Structure 1
Amino acid sequence: MPNRKWLIGSAVLAAAVFALMWIGYTQRWSWVTAMDSAALEACYRFGAAHPGWVRAWDVYCTVLGPTVLRLVGVVVIVVALVRRHVRTAVFLVLTVELCGLVLVLAKAFADRPRPSTALVDALSSSFPSGHAMGLMVCVPAYLVVLLPMVRPAARGWAIAVGVVVILTIGAGRVVLNVHHPSDVVAGWALGYAYFVGCLLLYPPRVSRVAGTPAALGTAR
């Protein structure tokens, strides 16, 4: 299946990017250090001079953060179970809810300190970014479940909004100086690899509107 081969290849590439970021941080590669330092310094200078800017990004990253999306996931899972969509519920448990466990293990393994210039409080260690990973798992998981039920004309818009949210939340963590850029890239990479693994191993079965092609793994 071409789609399956493409997904496996992209997940392997994402895992390689995660490993690259981790090795770059631990070995203090100059280009990783320079990338992290340049972005943090620029964001800190601007943020320190504009408290309102910092507050706005902090609220944005909180409202659309992984904690909120996991709470939404609990509601969606309950609704799916009530409607007897057990496979969809299990898929969301594996992706939206259990990705947090993967994050905890990855953070414990790397144990990277937060940037000393953090503009807001943040718990746990820095690598990888929990917001970046959480959004990269939760948003695609919701899209896989919901897109087959959406009219084709609206699917592109839904995907575009999802991409924008993923990118801006990741950028926001750097803007707030609570993550190095390499933490965010690593979070995106690990989240994508984990999501694809779940999708391939346990794809959901969801209803779709008439005339909408079935997505990978959604056919009954």
Structure 2
Amino acid sequence: MPHRAWLVGSAVFAVGVFALMWVGYSQQWPWLARADLAALEPLDRFGTAHPGWVTAWDLYCTVLGPTVLRLAGLVVIAVALVRRRVRTAVFLVLTVELSGLLLVTAKAIADRPRPAAALVFAQSTSFPSGHALGLMVCVLAFLTVLLPMLPSAARGWAIAAGVVLIASIGVGRVVLNVHHPSDVVAGWALGYAYFIVCRLLYPPRVSPGDGTPAAPGTAR
């Protein structure tokens, strides 16, 4: 119960952060606009002078972006179904695959333009960052499913790799000037809140037809 309360509280906090970024953008709060520009302007100057830097970041964000992770998720879902781990498969559909619908809805409502100095082409609107939201949901979902299958000594490394991936992809979108920093923070926050809701409403615990626990601390 205390663990559940902590998850609920953290999700509520994340929703608050998302709302703060959204209201701040829509109301054109000066401090938020200054913070966004303070990051974007020097990165625009550096990227314009170093095209190879831009290409490297663009490739990194593409290869390890949410589209690739969602394709990987389809493979994991198929394997889970073949092994009759239906609950795991449904959990991954709810989190990894359906989070895209949440993103499309949020982008359509906010309708924030991309930064004017975007260094590469990016489709759709800017708020929230789809890469930030997608990576947050996908990495957390994959870790939830895979951690119990890993040796104890490897779990810390897997978590660290997930944190680095989430953070670096978010930073990369700002480096490329295709997102304001507030877009990325909002994407992380909304993605985390969405994952927690899915985790609480449909936890991938041991159940008939799904004999593998998918979260630390569940019974084996």
TM-score bracket, normalised by the shorter chain, equals: over 0.9
Q: Which AA in structure 1 matches 2:20?
A: L
Listed as ranges, the matches of 1:50-199 within 5 Å are 50-199=50-199
| Cα distance in 2 between the residues matched to 1:4 and 1:168 | 29
1:97-130 Cα distance to aligned partner (Å, 9 max, x none): 0000000000000000000100000000000000
Count residues with an aligned counterpart: 215
Gaps of 5+ in 1: none
Partners of 2:147 and 2:215 within 8 A in 1: no
**Cα gap change, 1:51 to 1:94, in 2 (>3 Å):** same
Q: Are residues 176 and 81 of structure 1, via their aligned partners in 2, closer, same or farther at CA, if it must alter by over 3 Å? A: same
Report the counterpart of residue 207 of structure 1 in structure 2.
212
Question: Which stretches of structure 1, 4 residues or longer, exceed 3 Å deviation after superposition?
Answer: none
* Cα 1:100–1:214 shift into 2, 3 Å: closer
CA distance in 2 between counterparts of 1:219 and 1:112 reads: 45
Contact 2:118/2:176 (<8 A) preserved: yes
Long gaps (5+) in structure 2: 206-210
Work out the CA distance in 2 between the residues paired with 1:207 and 1:80. 10
Percent identity over the alignment?
Answer: 74
> What is the Cα deviation at residue 219 of structure 1?
3.4
Amino acid at match of 2:212: S
Deviation at 1:207, TM superposition (A): 2.5
**C-alpha separation between the residues in 2 aligned to 1:69 and 1:12?**
26
Q: Normalised by the size of structure 2, how large is the TM-score?
A: 0.95
Amino acid at match of 2:187: G
- C-alpha distance in structure 1 between counterparts of 2:2 and 2:201, whole Å: 16
The offset of 1:215, in angstroms, is: 1.9
- Partner Cα distance (1:101, 1:176) in 2: 24
Q: What amino acid is the match of 2:9?
A: G
Counterpart-to-counterpart distance in 2, 1:20 and 1:198 = 23
> Would the aligned equivalents of 2:144 and 2:215 in 1 still touch at CA under 8 Å?
no
What amino acid maps onto 1:129 in structure 2?
Answer: S
CA distance in 2, matches of 1:133, 1:22: 14
**RMSD between aligned residues:** 1.3
Structure 1 pair 129/116, CA: closer, same or farther in 2 (3 Å)? Answer: same
Aligned equivalents of 2:215, 2:196: Cα separation in 1? 17
Partner of residue 208, structure 2: none
Amino acid at match of 1:164: V
